[in-house]
Amino acid sequence: MKKVIEGSMAVAEAVKVCRPHVISAYPITPQTHIVENLSQFVADGELKAEFLNVESEFGAASVVLGASATGARAYSATTAQGLLLMVEVLFNIAGLRLPVVITCTNRAVSAPINIWNDQQDAMTIRDSGWIMLFAEDNQEAADMHLQAFKIGEHPEIMLPVMVNMDGFILTHAFEPIEFIDQKMADEFLPPFKPELYLTPKNPLTFGVLAEPDWYMETRYRLQKAIEASTDMIEEVADQFKKTFGRYQGGLVEKYRLDGAETVIVSMGSVVGTIKEVVDALRDKGKKIGVLKIRTFRPFPKEAIYDALKNVKNVIVMEKAISLGATGILYDEIKAALYGKPSQPKVSGFIAGLGGRDIPKESIMKVIEKGEAGISDNVFVDLKENLIGGK
């Protein structure tokens, strides 16, 4: 059944059919509609879950940590400053190997304060041990949540998953959404039954002190688990397709890559606009395609190399920057190609920070520039008149 609903509602509906036991959240724009909808489901008895309003995002993350360690399926949502406030707990959730799922409705971080979309927030937790997925549209965002729980809760993975969707652009957009049937969801996502959890029946110590002779091995195993999730992400996407009839997952999406000489690499909702530009250019006979990064952690180096190895120009467009260095995705794409037999030319563009529009014309200009030579750290559509001085 298809219905035109808001992105946040689509996510709330998807989370509902995942049957979480515990939901905890603190309000922050543009995440609020998701948890408002979920709290309404709980209030109406449509979802049997404990919904906890807490004193901060830090508290929200801590609550879902405790709940997950007790064997409950736990969910929260956040964005930007809220995500930053959670960071310490997020590292702990991963270190404790707890398959919590959090939606991050991507938003710029302050200062200056700005509530609109970019992906700088999510980039701050890229090293925390979370699996990170990025949605292009609302259907994908909704569907990713079912997959997120399934991937994270797999006994060999046991890792938290963050589903990223662009704030406002997706969260507040109305699109036709295929609703997920509860029966099919139950079939796809069985109840969470962790092997180890807090119970007096089997008293265990969680979150120990590990001295130098033990700590490194725990990080190694974390690294191995997140690497292992690379295959699991694809497997779960295949299973999702079998159950629901649509492929909505995996590591990357290759769009019109056949014989492409130029490929634009990006993540999130802007990929939709890029695809339109590419379609128009393909119609004119230009050999161009798009590589959408759906899974940012684990970083799918091999899938990326495989997609880009026969390409002349790679153009990375992203909504975040590691200040003092370069665009983060740009950096990582280059690293994925380095030392390999084939070395396409890679250019990096920073676009759409703090909700700045990315019109098709700007994407055209980026393509021209990227094809002309290697461009590094180019801020797209910068207003020179506002910069002043140096």
Told to check if 214 binds other proteins by CB under 8 A, we report yes
Task: Name the one range near other proteins by CB under 8 A: 43-51, 278-286, 318-326, 382-390.
Answer: 43-51
The amino acid sitting at 159 is L
Binding residue for other proteins, selected from 71, 272, 354, 355, defined by CB under 8 A:
71
In whole angstroms, give the CA distance from residue 302 to residue 308.
10
Task: Name the one range near other proteins by CB under 8 A: 3-11, 19-27, 143-151, 290-298.
Answer: 19-27
Binding residue for other proteins, selected from 202, 212, 285, 339, defined by CB under 8 A:
202
Nearer to other proteins, 50 or 178 (CB): 50
Beta strands at 295-297 and 161-166: parallel, antiparallel or unpaired: unpaired
Query: How far does the chain reach from its first CA to its final CA, in angstroms?
Result: 56
Nearer to other proteins, 214 or 247 (CB): 214
Give the interface size with other proteins as a residue count (CB under 8 A). 44
Nearer to other proteins, 74 or 277 (CB): 74
In whole angstroms, give the CA distance from residue 26 to residue 64.
12
Told to check if 54 binds other proteins by CB under 8 A, we report yes
DSSP 8-state class, residue 233: H
Shortest distance (Å) from residue 301 CB to other proteins: 32
As given in the structure block, the two tokens for residue 335 are 């690293």
Category of 268 on φ-ψ map: left (φ > 0), alpha (ψ -120 to 50) or beta: left
Nearer to other proteins, 40 or 199 (CB): 199
Nearer to other proteins, 201 or 383 (CB): 201
Told to check if 46 binds other proteins by CB under 8 A, we report no
Helix (H), strand (E), coil (C) string for 320-358 = CCCCCCCCHHHHHHHHHHCCCCCCCEEEEEECCHHHCCC
Q: Please, what's the b/e burial string for 124-162 (b: 16 or more CB within 10 A of its CB; e: otherwise)?
A: bbbebbbbbbbbbbbbbbbbbbbbbbbbbbbeebbbbbb
Told to check if 201 binds other proteins by CB under 8 A, we report yes
Told to check if 42 binds other proteins by CB under 8 A, we report no
As given in the structure block, the two tokens for residue 82 are 């809220």
Task: Name the one range near other proteins by CB under 8 A: 138-146, 204-212, 252-260, 379-387.
Answer: 204-212
Told to check if 207 binds other proteins by CB under 8 A, we report yes
Told to check if 386 binds other proteins by CB under 8 A, we report no
Residue that is written with structure tokens 């979370």 in the block? 130
Told to check if 102 binds other proteins by CB under 8 A, we report no
Told to check if 45 binds other proteins by CB under 8 A, we report no
As given in the structure block, the two tokens for residue 163 are 């589903």
Told to check if 283 binds other proteins by CB under 8 A, we report no
Binding residue for other proteins, selected from 10, 12, 15, 64, defined by CB under 8 A:
64
List CB contacts of 336: < 8 A, sequence separation 6 or more. Answer: 299, 301, 304, 305, 308
Told to check if 128 binds other proteins by CB under 8 A, we report no
| Binding site residues, other proteins, CB under 8 A | 21-22, 24, 48-50, 52-56, 58-59, 62-72, 74, 88-89, 92, 96, 198-211, 214
